Amino acid sequence: MYRAVRGVLFGLDAEQAHYLVMGAWSRLMRPAPIRELAQRALRVDDPRLGQKLWGVHFANPVGLAAGFDKDARWVNALGALGFGHVEVGTVTALAQAGNPRPRLFRLTEDEALLNRMGFNNGGSQAVARRLEELRVEPVLGINIGKSKVTPLDRAREDYATTLRELHRFADYLVVNVSSPNTPGLRSLQEKAPLRELLGSLQALNASLSEGTRRTPLLVKMAPDLGEGAIDDVLEVVAEVGIDGVVATNTTISRQGLRAPGVEELGAGGVSGRPLARRSREVIGYIYRRTRGEVPIVGVGGIFDAEDALEALEAGASLVQVWTGFVYEGPLMVRRMQLELLELLERRGYASVSEAVGASHRR
């Protein structure tokens, strides 16, 4: 059924279709009893799928990646679909419109998306007001980034503003230094500026968490880094005590794409199937280098349970979907969980936790 609906939606501008669908779904899910019915129908309750990370219980490993709900408008409506966690953002200190439209494109031949959204969001204060009025139901991650107008030498203060505004709402926080759509942002992945940024944010995080559980602070990494650059990031992660790595963001590579006219679409990051192999490589490399001691959230090219299990076996503790969700539809999460249970049993794993990093133990 979704294939037929998708055919109609794919006839619309990609960003227009996104807001049309989510606007309708969020209105439908507004009454709590309706959300509860949806949750009962769509979630899969099985202890083999659950695990605890950073003191947080994740009912299943399948989450929604940042970028889908930039302003935390649809948190509970998305949670009703059965996601183990929902990551909102990227949120910046200042409200910003993002890059000119069109800025989101489907590469259907590649089962991919190209986006240059540019952190379009209402700013940290607006998101805080929205979350203040909401009883959040799913595990909530909040992804934070740098405002476009803020110079790189003021990045620390900019990120800190957002962290202060949103810290109290997050089950975990992600520092995004890897989007290709904010000029200069990826330079913050270099060792010296990254150490300065993450060190200051972790200190602030500890201060804001005083007297309570310290909120886990993660960093999101680009897939286009070489091994030396990844090593630099991981050295900073160890020095500063960062709690995990999200691997990976979108790629600027166009290698192997089959969709016609890709170059004419202009700049942007590519997500979906073309990212799958590189994402797994980065996950595996991080897992080996950290000896499995740093939890990894695996993102990139995950469309089904096979993809999810590959990421888990490579070393991810959690996985996230975005492009796959667009292509596969709202029943994707339930289907992935049911199929993942079958795969775990078939491959002799007692639980998701047992599958994490298994490819390195064979």
The annotated binding site is made up of 66-70, 90, 115-119, 143, 176, 181, 220, 248-250, 272, 301
Give the Cα separation of 266 and 261 in Å (integer).
9
Among the listed residues 314, 318, 274, 285, the one whose alpha carbon sits nearest the alpha carbon of residue 299:
318
The alpha carbon dihedral of 283, 284, 289, 295 has a sign of positive
- Known catalytic residue at 351: no
Q: How many residues does the chain have?
A: 362
- Which residues are annotated as part of the binding site for FMN? 66-70, 90, 143, 176, 220, 248, 272, 301
CA distance readout (Å), 350 to 43, 301, 346, 356 = 20, 25, 10, 11
Return d(Cα 322, Cα 256) in angstroms, integer.
21
Question: Pick the catalytic residue: 124, 178, 179, 271?
Answer: 179
Distance of CA 1 to CAs 43, 267, 320, 330, Å? 20, 34, 24, 11
Element (H, E) at 7: helix 2-9
What token pair was written down for 280? 């797994």
Report which of 169, 192, 166 is spatially closest to residue 177, judged by C-alpha positions.
192
User: Which residues are identified as catalytic?
Assistant: 179
